[in-house]
Amino acid sequence: MLKWERISNRMTPTGTVEVRVNDDGPLGWIVGIVGGGNPNNVTFGPNLIVSNYNLDPRDVVISHEIGHMLQAQMLERLGYNYLLSYVALLTGSHATHPMEQDANRRAGLPPDFPDNGKPSGYVSPFIYQVRGHP
Amino acid sequence: MWRWIAPVAALMLAASCIGDPGYSLIVQNSTRARVTFYVDGVNARPGSAFADGVTLEPGAEDVNHWVIPAGDNDQRKATVRAVNSAGSIVYCHRFGFAELRDLHFHIDLRGGVADCS
């Protein structure tokens, strides 16, 4: 388990999020199930990202998940549940899901990320610190 | 935990393949020279590090997010190909998911490995 602290978009501090890596608890199991049994990563809200596999803190997908985290913050301020909002908009593929595309836009990634991995020369718009679980 | 149960149940009922697939993979240059490596067989487009290549100094490493091969049931293989500054292939190997897992998702680019042809 890792903690990402002082996440910011270089303009606005946004707080702390817990990132569970190789999670073998109930949420990790769920992440695997909804990922078709494959390695998968899910943002569960503004404070929690869960991966059922290895997730390096330098992985570009972290920036994408921070994009989801910012969505969750915004939606919950408006009184909506992030995960239910995600399901309500669930049409088509991952690459065409509006919340996936929005998370990519926030992270400065192509709309269909992670299909092509990291863009050449990618620099995350987010600044974050990583701390191991105490 | 409880506040997630209803949404998570809805997620599970709605569909599979939710979330952001893939895993972190580290490629390290364990040769004594600068190399540029490419990843083939992953449907990469120009503009991606897989297609455009990543140049690594000796000892340096790169982290990327891989979605192919997707998991144990995916038979596809990704080819990691590295060239030196003269453009000669110094490393080439095809990786299935099981092999990547056995390597703890850490590939060492080292001389004498060129078994793609």
Range of the domain at A110: 2-114+125-132
In chain A, what residues touch B72 (CB-CB under 8 Å)? Answer: 37-38
Q: In 10 A of CB A43, how many CB atoms?
A: 27
Average pLDDT over residues A43-64: 93
| CB contact at 8 A, A36 and B18 | no
Q: Number of folded domains in chain B?
A: 1
Laid out side by side, the sheet with B106-109 consists of B61-66, B23-29, B106-109
A26, A42, A114: residue with CB nearest B18? A42
Tens of pLDDT along B17-44? 689 999 999 999 999 999 999 999 999 9
Tens of pLDDT along B39-77? 999 999 999 999 999 999 999 999 999 999 999 999 999
**B66: domain CATH number?**
2.60.40
In chain A, what residues touch B96 (CB-CB under 8 Å)? Answer: none
B2 assigned to some structural domain: no
A120 assigned to some structural domain: no
Provide the whole-model pTM. 0.90
**Sign of the torsion angle spanned by Cα atoms A34, A37, A38, A40:** positive
CB contact under 8 A, B10 and A65: no
